[in-house]
Amino acid sequence: MKLLACDLDGTLVETEKNFIRKDNIEAIKKLRKEGHKFIVSTGRDIKGIKSIFKDNKEIEFDYLVLCNGALILDNNFNQIYKNTLPHNVVKSVYDDIYKNNSHKDAAMYVTYENTSSIFYTGCNKEFKDFLGTFENINNEDEVFSKEREYNLISIFSKSSNNDNAEKLKEQLLDTFGESYGIFRNQAFVDMVGKDCSKGSGLKKIIEIENWDANNLYTIGDSYNDISMFNITDNSFTFNHVEDGVKAHANHTVDFVHECIDIILNS
């Protein structure tokens, strides 16, 4: 039995409209039909993942590694593991990093309980379209009015500029060091609880199920996927991704279904 852990955005989901190629869907169905396991491993939260599967009902999964490993669910959405960020840390990111960069292209979103909020100033048309995915906009007073725990927060470039995002990541690392999980995912810089990553989440699932880690295959397209690449020799990324990501994967393909073909024929 083989295990495929697959990233979503930029890997399986190709646009903000939750589009998944038909050939990728058929390959996932074939993978599971032949007795192998399909694990979704993403920076998205529960709400984000449900919107994808609402639009792609044919896809079934065995586990969900969400919020870059801070939340793990089984295929019935039962919680297996959770690790959160404390209120004071998130407020510090808001005060010391977001507010000092909001005029330079930075925006921030936070996920907590079963909802999410986004903070920003000024935007272009593309960013306005992105805003449509959030229920709560610029409601900082409400969000920070009480102590709460956060699943994931993200500081990101409104203009989708990777260089700007890299600078934001360095500010987070200078402030918090390795105390929390900090990963750049294209123009987004995600922050999660201590010792959380997609790789750590997959290790927990493998341990729970007593599966053979040598049978794990992983595929992703960004820096927050490297922790998945590092725990297996069967790591895949795409020919078009940044060289810094490509350097950590053992194989390159153009589409997810090509990776699955290799798994099924190995």
| DSSP for 179-224, written as a single string | SSEEEEETTEEEEESTT--HHHHHHHHHHHHT--GGGEEEE-SSGG
Contact between residue 179 and residue 194 where contact means Cβ atoms under 8 Å apart: yes
Q: Measured between alpha carbons, how far is 204 from 246 in angstroms, rounded to an integer?
A: 25
> 114 falls in which pLDDT band (50, 70, 90)?
confident
pLDDT value of residue 125: 59
Give dist(CA 16, CA 9) in Å, integer.
8
pLDDT in tens, 77-90: 999 999 999 999 99
Percent of the chain with pLDDT over 70: 95
Domain-wise residue ranges, the chain: 3-83+196-265, 87-192
Residue 133, pLDDT above cutoff 80: no
State yes or no: pLDDT of 135 exceeds 90. Answer: no
- The superfamily (CATH) of domain 3-83+196-265 is HAD superfamily/HAD-like (3.40.50.1000)
Torsion (CA) 246, 251, 256, 257 in degrees, nearest 10: 160
**CATH node for 87-192:** 3.30.1240.10
The reported pLDDT for the residue numbered 131 is: 66
pTM over 0.85: yes
For residue 138, name the pLDDT band (cuts at 50, 70, 90).
confident
**In the prediction, which pLDDT does 99 show?**
93
